[in-house]
Amino acid sequence: MVVWGLRITTFITNMAVIVAFGVLYTWLQQGHSEDKFVVRWRPWLQIAALWTVLIIFHFASVWGRAEAVTPVGYGWNYLNFQAAAMVYALLSGRNRRLLWSLIILMTLWYHFLADVPLSMWPPIAALTIITMALGNRFWTPLGDHWYYYAPYTLVFIAPLMYANWISIKNIDVGLLWQFGTLFATIACLGALHRMLVNRKVREVRLVREGQIDDLTRLHNFRMFDADLNKAYQDMLLTGAKIALFTFDIDHFKRINDRYGHLVGNTVLETVARRLDEITANTDYTVKTYRTGGEEFTFMLFDITVDFDRSAQFARLIKDEMAKLHFTTAKGETFSITISLGEDHSRYDDQNYLDVYNRADKYLYDSKNHGRNTITLCGVTID
pLDDT score at 68:
47
Q: Based on the fold, state whether residues 187 and 239 are members of the same structural domain.
A: no
Residue 326 lies in a domain: yes
Does some domain include residue 333?
yes
Same domain, 327 and 355: yes
Verify that 70 and 198 share a domain, yes or no.
yes
Q: Is residue 215 part of a domain?
A: no
- Total count of domains within the chain: 2
- pLDDT score for 173: 57
The tens digit of pLDDT for each residue in 6-40 reads 778 878 888 888 889 988 888 888 766 667 788 78
- Over residues 196-213, mean pLDDT: 73
pLDDT digits (tens, 9 = 90+) for 56-100: 888 887 776 666 455 444 566 788 889 999 999 998 888 889 999
The counts of H helices and E strands in the chain are: 13, 8
Sign of CA dihedral 304, 306, 311, 316: negative
225 plus 197 within the same structural domain = no
Distance CA(223)–CA(211), nearest Å, equals 5
Residues 201 and 236 in one domain: no
Contact 54, 85 (CB under 8 A): yes
Structural domain including 37 reads 2-209
pTM of the model: 0.58
pLDDT band (50, 70, 90) for residue 207? low
Pairwise CA distance, residues 272 & 320, whole Å: 12
Does residue 73 sit in the same domain as residue 196?
Answer: yes
